[in-house]
Amino acid sequence: MGAATAYIVDAVRTAGGRRGGKLAGWHPADMAAEMLDAIVARSGIDPAAIEDVIMGCVGQGGEQGFQVGRGAVLASRLPESVPAVTIDRQCGSSQQAIQFAAQAVLSGTQDVVIAAGVESMTRVPMGATVALFAQAGLGGPKSPRQEARYPGVQFSQFMGAEMMARKHGLGRAELDAYALASHRRAAAATERGDFEAEIVPLAIETPEGPAIHARDEGIRFDATAESIGSVKLLAEGGVISAANASQICDGASAVLIVSEAALKAHGLTPLARIHALTVTAGDPVIMLEEPLFATDRALRRAGMTIDEIDLFEVNEAFASVPLAWLRHTGADPERLNVNGGAIALGHPLGASGTKLMATLVHALRKRGKRYGLQTMCEGGGIANVTIVERL
């Protein structure tokens, strides 16, 4: 990467909201704007110094339509002079936002960029942008040439999760045990106050009156093996249930990424630096397996072994993903998703990349650890891997 370095100054997120839950009253552009405002306020940087906002969002329609990244800037306290762009790399959208922001800084073309993400899965339901067009008779995303290449294949993450479980010999009991551990880790992290440094409290209206939302709503503090095991399977004869898959979630998140020159010019103190960036793609049918191979490539390119990484965030889209990843990489399970993951905390699609990075850099800091690796499976068989070093 040469002499240039991309630094993470701060990373913030909302506490997750369940579908129809505590964040359902927030328009996504306003919710994302709160993250932009928070990261600027916390760092003390001049808002006019922000050179770009790169916003991940998957459901780019309705309230998340008309370029929600720019919408978030216009809903924030940032000046109109701050540009923005909205990107979709499916579940990895805002992890890709981090990588694009870092690449802008590393290339020397920009010095101060916010990578962010937003998804209100309550207000723009998953799949709505495909379903509404189909209902209007306007067709769908699978083209005739795709059909010729993948005849009769319906690209489905649920089918991919089942295929992964079969391929890697993962039974329901193992997936459910992993899901229970996710809730227990998330509950313990909440009780220890480990999320306090990353969560931006949001004002909400409740039936009892105004309140503050600062605690992840999806965590089941009373989860048991029995309660998780009693949830019905999504497919007959399968192993995936709603309880061992990620939760539908509303949320937003942001990471401030700057150059060395910007650190000095604005008197900023970094939390971490970007050490390595990788994105790969593979089989779009099994779809969710790519983080395994992307991690291999990222470590090779970084000249590192899996044992040199202190903490891992592997998105818990389905329990079969991190479990297959552990088997493939031989990573220490005690370093994986130490504060729980999307099974307990929720997976707000386009916001998850910067959300996980907020959890990762703050966990590295809290635990006095050095290297962190983040990866997630993405629709279409893609995976991003970002390695950071805590400073």
Q: Phi/psi at 347 (nearest 5 deg)?
A: -130, 85
Residue 238, phi then psi, degrees to nearest 5: -90, -165
Burial (Cβ within 10 Å: 0-12, 13-18, ≥19) of residue 203? exposed
- Contact (Cβ atoms closer than 8 angstroms) between residue 354 and residue 117: yes
Burial of 177 (0-12, 13-18, 19+ CB in 10 A): middle
CA-derived radius of gyration, the chain: 20
- Give φ, ψ of 13 to 5 degrees: -155, 160
| Main-chain phi, psi angles of 183, to 5 degrees | -60, -40
Is beta strand 84-87 parallel, antiparallel or unpaired with respect to 52-56?
parallel
Catalytic residue annotation: 91, 347, 377
Torsion of CA 292, 295, 296, 297, to 10 degrees: 120
Spatial neighbors of 16 by CB under 8 A, at least 6 apart, are: 23, 216, 217, 218, 247, 249, 250, 251, 345, 346, 348
User: What's the burial of 212, exposed, middle or buried (CB within 10 Å: 0-12/13-18/19+)?
Assistant: exposed
Q: What sign results for the dihedral spanned by CA atoms 185, 191, 195, 199?
A: positive
Tokens of 83: 């540009």
Task: Tell which residue, 284, 172, 295, has the closest CA to residue 239.
Answer: 172
C-beta separation of 285 from 153 below 8 A: yes
Contact of 242 with 231, CB cutoff 8 Å: yes
Contact 343, 319 (CB under 8 A): yes
